[in-house]
């Protein structure tokens, strides 16, 4: 039996008890829903990999509350990392430090580093404050499926497999956190997200972006996997290819099927009268709606025909990266 409960004090205490007892709990953050476990409990951490079907070389992020003493978990924190913590946490930024080994090897996949996040969402802060231990939490979806942004999404993937999901409504951010390696002299983005390169440069002055070449071991293993795939057909076109995308749409209509476009404000203007999963106007809107609309599309569309927003940089980096891997 999997319960979905509102984030009241009593229910958060229930969540705490389950977590301390080695069980898994779904909970909301400002990015996506997480599937939490006690990061110091080997068995609980292994259970995450099992229920998700997650590859065992894809490490987990440890979540702590905003007053948690990070030096309990990590060492050699650089001054610029402290500046970033001050500027952007609590928030959708994950920082990779040298680990002290308190969070178990099963969670870090044997790496000597640990990724830490201090989520902003009120319900997540409250839960983390109550437990006062590092909670490791990947996104609460089956491995390779679209990340969840509502409690119902989590339920769809884990009904009967976890005891509790804390319901905090729809996640506002909508895409996973920026993962930033802060072990080096210069910070390096391993995964793009809502905290952008430009925002990091504003605080530190410089920021690298990891590019992994074919055949090379990635620093952030998660970025190597196909991810976020909806359970329906997908196709991806650029804005210039819109005519071709309309031909594909018409082909599906002719066959008596239900195609949907997925697009931003710009492309929508060329698709009047057609079925549309509308992502919004700004990069932030698109990030916020992307997974929600992919999940909606897999329920009702025979194909999702996605049109890439015609912009780069800032939050578009994170958005394009997810959209391409979901729909290619």
* Site residues (vs ligand AMP, CB under 6 A): 58-59, 61, 96, 108, 111, 113-115, 138-139, 176, 179, 190-191, 219-223
For residue 62, the cross-strand partners are: 116, 136
Contact partners, residue 177, CB within 8 Å, separation at least 6: 31, 61, 92, 93, 94, 117, 191, 193, 194, 195
Distance CA 147, CA 149 (A): 7
**The binder of Mg ion chosen from 29, 94, 108, 139 (CB under 5 A):** 139
| Residue facing Mg ion at closest CB distance | 139
Residue 115 binding: pick among Mg ion, ligand AMP, none (C-beta 5-8 Å cut-off by kind): ligand AMP
Least distance from ligand AMP to the Cβ atom of residue 215, Å? 18
Residue with Cβ nearer ligand AMP (138 or 309) = 138
Taking the C-alpha atoms of residue 27 and residue 316, their distance in angstroms, rounded to an integer, is 26
Q: Phi/psi of residue 226, each to 5°?
A: -70, 145
The CB-of-139 to ligand AMP minimum distance in angstroms stands at: 4
Q: Which is nearer to Mg ion, 31 or 139 (CB)?
A: 139
User: Which residue stretch of 4-12, 14-22, 49-57, 136-144 sits at the interface with Mg ion (rule: CB under 5 A)?
Assistant: 136-144
Nearer to ligand AMP, 223 or 248 (CB): 223
Decide: helix, strand or coil at residue 237: strand
Q: Contact at 8 Å (CB) between 76 and 14? A: no
Q: Do the beta carbons of residue 7 and residue 129 sit within 8 Å?
A: no
**Tokens 């979905």 -> residue:** 4
Nearest approach in angstroms of CB 96 to ligand AMP is 4
Contact window for Mg ion (CB under 5 A) among 79-87, 132-140, 162-170, 319-327: 132-140
* CA–CA separation, 185 and 25 (whole Å): 36
Give whichever of 229 and 274 is closer to ligand AMP, judged by the CB atom.
Answer: 229
Residues that bind Mg ion in the complex, under the rule CB under 5 A = 139
């Amino acid at each position: 039996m999997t319960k979905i409960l509102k984030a009241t004090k009593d229910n958060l205490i229930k969540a705490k008890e389950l977590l301390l007892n080695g069980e898994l709990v779904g909970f909301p953050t400002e990015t996506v829903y997480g599937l939490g476990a006690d990061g110091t409990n080997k068995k609980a951490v292994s259970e995450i990999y099992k229920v998700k079907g997650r590859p065992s070389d894809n490490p987990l992020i440890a979540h702590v509350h905003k007053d948690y003493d990070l030096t309990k978990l990590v060492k050699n924190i650089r001054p610029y990392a402290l500046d970033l913590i001050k500027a952007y946490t609590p928030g959708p930024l994950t920082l990779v430090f040298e680990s002290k080994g308190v969070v178990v090897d099963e969670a870090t996949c044997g790496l000597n580093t640990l990724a830490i996040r201090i989520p902003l969402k009120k319900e997540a802060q409250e839960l983390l404050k109550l437990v006062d231990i590092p909670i490791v939490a990947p996104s609460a979806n089956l491995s390779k499926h679209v990340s969840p942004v509502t409690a119902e999404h989590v339920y769809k993937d884990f009904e009967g497999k976890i005891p509790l999901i804390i319901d905090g409504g729809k996640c506002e951010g909508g895409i996973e956190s920026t993962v930033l390696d802060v072990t080096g002299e210069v910070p390096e983005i391993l995964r793009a997200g809502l905290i952008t390169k430009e925002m990091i440069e504003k605080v530190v002055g410089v920021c690298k972006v990891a590019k992994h070449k074919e055949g090379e071991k990635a620093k952030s293993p998660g970025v190597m996997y196909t991810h976020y795939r909806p359970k329906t057909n997908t196709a991806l076109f650029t804005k210039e290819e819109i005519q071709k995308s309309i031909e594909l749409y018409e082909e599906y209509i002719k066959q008596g099927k239900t195609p949907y476009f997925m697009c931003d404000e710009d492309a929508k203007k060329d698709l009047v009268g057609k079925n549309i999963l509308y992502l919004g106007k700004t990069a932030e809107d698109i990030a916020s709606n992307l997974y929600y609309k992919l999940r909606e599309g897999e329920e009702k569309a025979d194909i999702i025909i996605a049109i890439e927003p015609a912009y780069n940089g800032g939050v578009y980096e994170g958005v394009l990266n997810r959209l391409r891997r979901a729909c290619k």
